[in-house]
Amino acid sequence: MVIPDGVALVEADGGAVVASLNMARDVLGKLIRGPLVLVIAADRAAELSAMAPDLIDVRAATLEIASMPGESAPTLVLDLEESRVRRVRSRAELQAEAARLRAFAGDEIPAGALTDAWIRLGHAFFDAAELGEARAAAEEARRLAEGVGYTSGVGDALSLEAQVLEKTGPAEAWEQALRRTLALRREAGGPVRLAADLRRLGRAVALLGRLEEAEGLLREAVALYEQLGDVRGRATVMGGVADILEHRGQLDEALRIRQREVLPVQERLERQTD
């Protein structure tokens, strides 16, 4: 969703609209599909930040444009969704950022904003194969989120812990983290993350040999991806269902799913990227 006139948004109803967005940041995923992008004159950005500190603290990117048609002032484009493209940074750089976050602990910074910062840092540690640091960041994020009842933040921290535990084990802890994440997703709502966590737990349960339960989780994820209109996500999960059916000896049905529901989607997506 793109809001092209951020100044009008700031001025609407004396700032009540921006205040509402700030308060609703944890549930925006239920209301808006995809990123929330706000375009605003650079000289009004500080005003927006003061009005919506929680929302601004979790923005993924800020891009400055020299000018927009009909405007002389620089303009900022704020992407308020977590970036999906992460640059791999050095261990020293990441540890320096961790030190800065620890230094903020005594300041009057919203715990939700610190939670999100630790989660982003944890993912950066994970991308850099610093698994111990990634788990420590996830645990700190979870501690902060639990302290203020930030349910989706707890879920994000547990999800990161599960990613680490998948690599390091033990398997029981990995499964437990995934189950706790899924329970919180159901509580918080938001079909995008719920579908992804159903897929992750279904995959884990299948690897642990409980195929019937795994199929149930994956088929629930399929229904959510259909609801979202996410063709790629649905095809990915259906591939997992086909794997389970093959392990059970249901070869014809597994082949049918791959030929009719998985391969056509993969081929279409490949043509789109050529």
Domain identity same for 73 and 158: no
What pLDDT sits at residue 70? 45
Q: How confident is the model at residue 143 (pLDDT cuts 50, 70, 90)?
A: very high
Domain identity same for 28 and 6: yes
What pLDDT sits at residue 89? 82
Domain identity same for 58 and 10: yes
Domain finish residue from 25, 50, 79: 79
pLDDT above 90 as % of the chain: 50
- Asked whether residue 271 carries a pLDDT value surpassing 60, the answer given is yes
**Average pLDDT in the 65-85 region?**
45
Global confidence as pTM: 0.65
**pLDDT digits over 76-117, tens only?**
444 444 444 456 788 999 999 999 888 887 666 788 888 999
pLDDT above 70 as % of the chain: 74
Domain finish residue from 123, 154, 184: 184
Comparing CA positions, the residue from 157, 166, 91 lying closest to residue 124 is: 91
Domain identity same for 216 and 254: yes
Total number of domains constituting the chain: 3
**For the chain, what is the HEC assignment?**
CEECCHHHHHHHHHHHHHHHHHHCHHHHHHHCCCCCEEEEEHHHHHHHHHHCHHHHHCCCEEEEECCCCCCCCCEEEEECCCCCCCCCCCHHHHHHHHHHHHHHHHCCCCHHHHHHHHHHHHHHHHHCCCHHHHHHHHHHHHHHHHHHCCHHHHHHHHHHHHHHHHHHCCHHHHHHHHHHHHHHHHHHCCHHHHHHHHHHHHHHHHHCCCHHHHHHHHHHHHHHHHHHCCHHHHHHHHHHHHHHHHHCCCHHHHHHHHHHHHHHHHHHHHHHHC
Please give the mean pLDDT across all residues of the chain: 81
Domain finish residue from 184, 204, 223: 184
More confident residue, 10 or 212: 212
Domain identity same for 257 and 222: yes
CATH number, domain with residue 157: 1.25.40.10
Domain identity same for 24 and 73: yes
Domain identity same for 63 and 141: no
More confident residue, 199 or 63: 199
- Asked whether residue 52 carries a pLDDT value surpassing 70, the answer given is no
**Average pLDDT in the 50-78 region?**
50
Q: How confident is the model at residue 49 (pLDDT cuts 50, 70, 90)?
A: low
- Domain span holding position 255: 190-274
Which region among 30-39, 50-59, 86-95, 208-217 has the lowest average model confidence (pLDDT)?
50-59
What pLDDT sits at residue 3? 75
Domain identity same for 273 and 257: yes
Q: Are strands 75-79 and 37-41 parallel, antiparallel or unpaired?
A: antiparallel
Residue showing tokens 């996500």 = 233
**Average pLDDT in the 209-220 region?**
96
**pLDDT digits over 156-171, tens only?**
999 999 999 999 999 9
Q: Are strands 2-3 and 37-41 parallel, antiparallel or unpaired?
A: parallel
What pLDDT sits at residue 55? 61
What pLDDT sits at residue 190? 79
Domain identity same for 55 and 74: yes
- Asked whether residue 178 carries a pLDDT value surpassing 60, the answer given is yes
